[in-house]
Amino acid sequence: MRSPTRLDEPPRGRFRWPFAGSGRRTVEAWLLLLPSIVLFAAFTHVPFLRTFVDAFHSTPKGRRPSHFVGLDNWVDLAHDPIFWKALTNNTLYALGTIPLAVGLALAMALFVNGRIPGRAALRMAYFTPTVLPMIAVANIWLFFYTPDYGLFDQIGGLFGLAATNRLGDPSTALIAVMAVAVWKEAGFFMIFYLAALQQIPPDLREAAAIEGASRFTFFRRVTWPLLAPVTLFILVNAVINAFRTVDHIFMMTGGGPDNATNLLLFRLYELGFKFWDQAQASALTVVLIVVLASVALVQFVFAGRKVHYR
């Protein structure tokens, strides 16, 4: 006899919503999901909704409780030059670091995927920056950038170059912190490319060689298209990281000089936890989420069409 509630026999035919219907089985399912739902809700969904609600309210001050202000918070944000500066900086930061980090990751992966002596050591070396905490990385680079006796100035000194304060100069500070991000991110992305490259059967390269494809043609016609899903994944992550990772800003510049390295999340921290301006911080959070969500969506919708998934 077939029992309708046997767990090892999923209902066939028409799709059913996971918790449609009633009965003991549904209750059990919900109970099993409860722990993770509670944690997820408490630390992700509820804060997100609270932030969204807060963004329409004023900051509570002393005896004046928070009240509904409509879109005022965003209007204020739009009039804040530092917000625009941070947004511009962050856009430049993303446009500068992402292509470089991803390109470098691919180049390194292609290099250590080949038959070269000591490739295990090389792979590890490339991956090391990923293992280090960003705080440590920032400290290392802080030393590199130190005027006069830092690594760069010591090397520059050998060629008779004058000491420079790269982090102290508004025209170079952003580029200096971008370099750190590229250095840190490239190794991480390399691992994904390396894993994907190793999924490509060597037969394909041999078949292409017999068919007359040069190494470059093989890369352009076969390797690169087959890496597309990974590239998409990496790009989405890179964009999120470009707006999310600001640890080194704290360590290296504090957003300065003159907001030259102020990024959106750093600005958010300043508003929320230095100035305790809850309303502005909430509004900026919503802006940040909208920016990230739309970039990710665009990437999936437009790139996803061309990507071949195996």
By CB under 8 A, residue 207 contacts other proteins:
yes
Nearer to other proteins, 110 or 228 (CB): 228
State in angstroms the smallest separation of the CB of 195 from other proteins: 17
Residues facing 64 on adjacent strands = 61
CA–CA separation, 251 vs 174, rounded Å?
14
By CB under 8 A, residue 206 contacts other proteins:
yes
CA–CA separation, 223 vs 165, rounded Å?
42
CA–CA separation, 261 vs 255, rounded Å?
5
Listed ranges 68-76, 89-97, 199-207, 272-280: which one lies at the site for other proteins (CB under 8 A): 199-207
List 64, 81, 203, 305, residue binding other proteins (CB under 8 A): 203
Question: What does the DSSP assignment read for 59-88?
Answer: PPBTTB---B-TTHHHHHHHT-HHHHHHHH
List binders of other proteins among 228-247 (CB under 8 A): 228
Output the CA angle 262-267-269, nearest 5 degrees.
130
Nearer to other proteins, 44 or 217 (CB): 217
By CB under 8 A, residue 303 contacts other proteins:
no
Listed ranges 137-145, 186-194, 218-226, 234-242: which one lies at the site for other proteins (CB under 8 A): 218-226
Tokens found for residue 135: 């705080």
By CB under 8 A, residue 169 contacts other proteins:
no
Mapped onto helix, strand or coil, the DSSP state of residue 64 is strand
CA–CA separation, 65 vs 161, rounded Å?
59
By CB under 8 A, residue 8 contacts other proteins:
no
Site size toward other proteins (CB under 8 A) is: 19
Mapped onto helix, strand or coil, the DSSP state of residue 240 is helix
By CB under 8 A, residue 114 contacts other proteins:
no
CA–CA separation, 299 vs 238, rounded Å?
12
Binding-site ranges for other proteins (CB under 8 A): 201, 203-204, 206-213, 217, 221-222, 225-226, 228, 308, 310
